[in-house]
Amino acid sequence: MASSEQLKALIKSHLSGDDDRFLSVALQVAAHEAKIGHGKLAIELRDLVEKARKSKKLQSVPVSIAKGVKDASGLLYATTPSARLADLVTTRAIEEQLIRVIREQRHLAKLKNHGLEPRRRLLLVGAPGTGKTFTASVLAGELGYPLFQVRLDAVITKFMGESSAKLRQIFDAIREVRGVYFFDEFDALGSQRSSSNDVGEARRILNSFLQMIEQDDSNSVIVCATNHAQMLDYALFRRFDDVIQYHLPGKDDIQRLFNNRLKPYMDNSVPVDKMAVLAEGLSSAEVTQAAQDAIKEMLIHGHEKVTQDDLQSAIEDRRRMSHQVHKQG
């Protein structure tokens, strides 16, 4: 077994796109395994490294994080999600839209060779907690790309010129480092917050952002999300390759969310379909939280399984909180 230092070095070198370093650490692991008597494993590892060195594949590894991008002055927050499409509970139509994006990304070179552009600019529209951020993670997870969440609060400054310069910096990173770039609540760029309370200026920042999206010719996936359905009216469509609209989960979706989350813990006697009816009106995020609350209760009380009572009271709590939030909002 590789040491924790070696594991860390492997991950770091992979993330920084340093293939030579990655392979040299892999060789160190092989040497270590040989020393502790795992000869067969050592030989296997060494052969893998040799094959990788020879293979051209190495040059087309999609993720290679250029130096300096990590600290693009705090504008990007990078993670490597492991979420998969199967974790996302959604309609068949949305699933197909996402599958198409993933497939076109995977065949990017082939499409480009024939002058075709893969779909890679997505606009996700929907109420809070319907899975927009989660979708960005799923895309990154499925594609094996890093996820860069753009910190719009850091982009938005009082000075129009600064905001534009920061946006340009982000689009430089988008070109340099292939990944999924997520602009959450991107419409905030057009709010008055973004420039000394001047509506005209704010609108110009949003427009220049949309232009940058349109002009971007990178291989990265750009995902923008908004809670405001009215953004749909705002001549946005043509800037994006796909617009995906999210809705609150229906009864069957809720049942799937519960089953996904609770499967290993749930008592067979829990009537999940009835619980789903009880949870109707909650967002997917709230349903997920209710399931997690029920598991916590089970653990804290030292029970073996989540009971109907646990789940029911977790749902009722979430409903109360949800009402509270909506009243305030």
Cβ of 211: how many Cβ atoms within 10 Å? 12
Piece of 7-15, 19-27, 132-140, 230-238 that binds ligand ADP (CB under 6 A): 132-140
Name which of ligand ADP, Mg ion, none residue 288 binds, using a CB cut-off of 5 to 8 Å depending on partner kind.
Answer: ligand ADP
Q: Determine if 288 is a binding residue for ligand ADP (CB under 6 A).
A: yes
- Phi/psi of residue 18, nearest 5 degrees: -90, 85
Q: Two tokens at 235?
A: 């001549």
Piece of 16-24, 86-94, 300-308, 320-328 that binds ligand ADP (CB under 6 A): 86-94
Query: 150 with 181: CB under 8 angstroms?
Result: yes
Rule CB under 6 A: choose which of 25, 97, 101, 131 binds ligand ADP. Answer: 131
Q: Determine if 255 is a binding residue for ligand ADP (CB under 6 A).
A: no
Task: Kindly give the pairing relationship between strand 242-245 and strand 147-150.
Answer: unpaired
In the complex with ligand ADP, the residue whose CB is nearer, 133 or 194, is: 133
Name which of Mg ion, ligand ADP, none residue 131 binds, using a CB cut-off of 5 to 8 Å depending on partner kind.
Answer: ligand ADP
In the complex with Mg ion, the residue whose CB is nearer, 125 or 210, is: 125
Residues 99-158 that bind Mg ion (CB under 5 A): 132-133
Q: Two tokens at 47?
A: 């052969």
> Which residues have a Cβ under 8 Å from the Cβ of 103 and sit 6 or more positions away?
none
Separation between Cα atoms, residue 323 and residue 212, nearest integer Å: 39
10 Å CB burial of residue 64 (0-12, 13-18, 19+) is middle
In the complex with ligand ADP, the residue whose CB is nearer, 49 or 94, is: 94
Q: Determine if 134 is a binding residue for ligand ADP (CB under 6 A).
A: yes
Q: Determine if 132 is a binding residue for ligand ADP (CB under 6 A).
A: yes
10 Å CB burial of residue 47 (0-12, 13-18, 19+) is exposed
Residue with tokens 């699933």: 95
Minimum CB separation of residue 132 from ligand ADP in Å reads 3
Piece of 10-18, 53-61, 84-92, 114-122 that binds ligand ADP (CB under 6 A): 84-92
Q: Determine if 133 is a binding residue for ligand ADP (CB under 6 A).
A: yes
Rule CB under 6 A: choose which of 10, 72, 88, 278 binds ligand ADP. Answer: 88
Nearest alpha carbon to residue 213 among 185, 175, 245, 159 = 175
What is 266-320 written as a DSSP string? B-TT--HHHHHHHTTTS-HHHHHHHHHHHHHHHHHTT-SSB-HHHHHHHHHHHHH
Q: Determine if 284 is a binding residue for ligand ADP (CB under 6 A).
A: yes
Q: Determine if 283 is a binding residue for Mg ion (CB under 5 A).
A: no
Minimum CB separation of residue 266 from ligand ADP in Å reads 17
Separation between Cα atoms, residue 121 and residue 242, nearest integer Å: 7
Rule CB under 6 A: choose which of 27, 32, 128, 232 binds ligand ADP. Answer: 128
Minimum CB separation of residue 223 from ligand ADP in Å reads 11
In residues, how long is the chain? 329
Task: Name the site residues for ligand ADP (rule: CB under 6 A).
Answer: 87-90, 126, 128-134, 257, 284-285, 288
